[in-house]
Structure 1
Amino acid sequence: MSTALPLSHRALACAVAVIWGVNFLAIHLSLQQFPPLFLVALRFALLAVPTLVLVPRPRVPARWLVGYGLGFGVLQFSFLYSGMAAGMPAGLASLVLQASGPITLVLGAVLLREKVLPRQWTGVAVAGCGMAVVGVARAGGAELLPYLLVLLGALGWALGNLSSRLAAPPNPLHLTLWMSVVVPVPMLVLSLVVEGPDAILRSLATSLTTAAVPAWAGLAYTVVIGTVVGSGIWTWLLARHPAGVVGPFSMLVPVVGMLTAGVALGERPAPLELVGGFVVVAGVLLGAGRGRRVSVPPAAAPVEVPASCAEVAVDDLRRDLEGVEEPHDVVAEV
């Protein structure tokens, strides 16, 4: 792995941040047509069908594949889409979802007994303070519930991260794609129970009209560009560079998300929300920073002894042992 990012790889990392930042605008457009839980089922169904046909199943334990799908797919997007449908601005949602990083760190320490450096705990504390500031800014009436829903989405993402880590897939992109196979059925059942069949049928009945074109365009962007292209490039970068080098580029996602939502939707975050967002980004970057590298000398290569040398040594030993009682056991051990 290379610890230095070439300019072209930096450009790719920035491109992924732009793709994922615009993804929140695409979700907003799709939510104008479909109920949030049904939209999650539809999104992953469109991804699951070609995955089953074209992508080999990753060689990981089924429990971690299912756990990744339930955490990353079901929990994260159920709460994220529900929060945005309830009024969470797209740009601010892209920011609050970044809480998954610090939450993953805490859960990894508690559940997996992973070692956490003091600097990382400091980053968690700083990011937590930033989230609290954003929460205070949105504490007025109906604005708090959407914020809490998106925050629960970040928790779902963190749980999915733990399952992905335990799965240790040889090809992470295959795991990301196969995760989509887990999501559609439970999400469809959840949508039928919570949203009801009438809401689903109404959204489908008007889905072929001109007014529904932006929703389908947003859904296509989310599936093809956001998931396949974005995740594909990101996985390619992580295979060539340490996560601590590539990961900080994800902090550009909320920047792009908020700028895109501001231009396309006219969203204007409150000053306190911007302050909290800045603190969150600072905390995540602090926690993701790389510690001091310790140089470990390479192990010496084993010395191969020619067979002829070994035979000479055994012959010498035989001569030395002449006259010794029962020497064969000694030679046999050699």
Structure 2
Amino acid sequence: MPPRDLALALLVVVVWGVNFAVIKTGVAEVPPLLLGALRFMLAACPAVFLLRAPKLPLRLYLAYGLSISVGQFAFLFTAIHLGMPSGLASLVLQSQAFFTMLFAALWLKESWRRSQLAGLILAAGGLALIGWSHGASMPLAGFLFTLAAASMWAAGNIVTRAVARHGPINQFAFVVWASLVPPLPFFALSLSIEGPAVIVEALARFSLQSFAAVAYLAWGATLLGYGLWTRLLSRYPANQVAPFSLLIPLVGLTTGWLVFDEALQPLHYAGAALLMLGLAVNLFATRLLAWAKARP
């Protein structure tokens, strides 16, 4: 990978890693479900007027928007609103890789390799340690909502696989047009759960900080992040691009510590180590074994 594209990959890692601290800042002033609606309104407009929608069935736009956008971020924003530390959220959310494996086995009938099963067991042990350490610094509900967000991201990954079967398309344009789906469900959820009075109050005291958080989530995390990520995936094999996601929790944990003074407990460190080891085994073990067998 040339230095320029390597720099772009690292930029995505930083943008998505910092994203969790921005979410925590945003939900401090804006209710989480309303924040989701505003994020995707800004992500879709005015970009939809500049890009042509890929020719895909409407059901794929709906499935993607409702899973990876509404499902993932409704749970994630709520988790952080309930007190889930932003750094730990960035770590636990990476369990989406194993939910994706599970869903692919159930829905696409894909078989698991031994290395994937070993990685899943290690990651499950890490998540169990993190969940076991819940308390004042990490509410159990926040942890469970983050796991639910990871499962929704994984469901969106399966939808993306279905999109790929329709041939090469402008993935960035697909993300933009799929961003038209989430605002209405988010507004409906916000009205029914958070209530009209909370929405009116939040909009009435909508500050520059709130706008900056929404703008970062829409233009930075969604458009810039996904735009660069899909560009890299179109140029290089997925196994060259995917490992960069392992660096996202490093940025997320560091940002949470620097900005919010989020301190990890010993069980958090142990769980984080097992989870990251599980992800690394899932990504690299097969290639390392193949390389070892190929050596004379």
Global fold match (TM > 0.5): yes
Matched, 1:131 2:130: no
Show the 5 A alignment for 1:156-175: 156-168=152-164, 170-175=169-174
Query: CA offset at residue 142 of structure 1?
Result: 7.3
TM superposition shift of 1:109 = 0.9
Q: Contact (CA 8 Å) 1:134, 1:277: kept in 2 or not?
A: yes
Q: How does 1:283-322 map to 2 (within 5 A)?
A: 283-289=278-284, 291=287, 292=290
Aligned residue pair count: 285
Q: How far does the alpha carbon of each residue in 1:27-54 deviate from its partner, in whole angstroms, 9 at most, with x for none?
A: 1111111100111011101112223312
TM-score, normalised to structure 1's length?
A: 0.82
Contact kept? 1:65, 1:167, Cα under 8 Å? no
Rg comparison, structure with higher value: 1
Counterparts of 2:158 and 2:133, CA distance in 1: 30
The percent of aligned pairs where both chains have the same amino acid is 38
Residues 59-98 of structure 1: pairs in structure 2 closer than 5 A: 59-98=55-94
SS of the residue 2:53 aligns to: coil
Q: Out of 240, 248, 254, which is 2:243 matched to?
A: 248
Query: Counterparts of 1:130-279 in structure 2 under 5 Å?
Result: 130-138=126-134, 143-168=139-164, 170-207=169-206, 212-279=207-274
Cα distance in structure 2, aligned partners of 1:26 and 1:140: 21
How large is the RMSD of aligned CA atoms in angstroms? Answer: 1.6
1:280 corresponding residue in structure 2:
275
Residues 104-139 of structure 1: CA deviation (Å, up to 9, x unaligned): 011101111123222112111211111111111116
* 2:52 is equivalent to residue 53 of structure 1: no
Residues 210-267 of structure 1: CA distance to partner in whole angstroms, max 9, x if unpaired? Answer: xx22222121111111111121111111111111111010111111011011001111
Unpaired runs of at least 5, structure 2: 292-296
Instruction: Quote the offset at 1:275 in angstroms.
Output: 1.3
The SS at the match of 1:239 is helix
Name the SS of the counterpart of 2:52 in structure 1: coil
SS at match of 2:179: helix
Q: Which runs of 5+ in 1 are unaligned?
A: 294-334
Superposition TM-score, scaled by structure 2 size = 0.92
Which string of whole-angstrom CA distances, capped at 9 and with x for unpartnered residues, describes residues 184-226 of structure 1? 001101110011000000001111xxxx222221211111111
Q: Distance in 2 between matches of 1:237 and 1:223?
A: 20
- The answer (yes or no) to whether the contact 2:82–2:142 under 8 Å persists in 1 is yes
1:90–1:142 CA distance, 2 compared to 1 (3 A):
closer
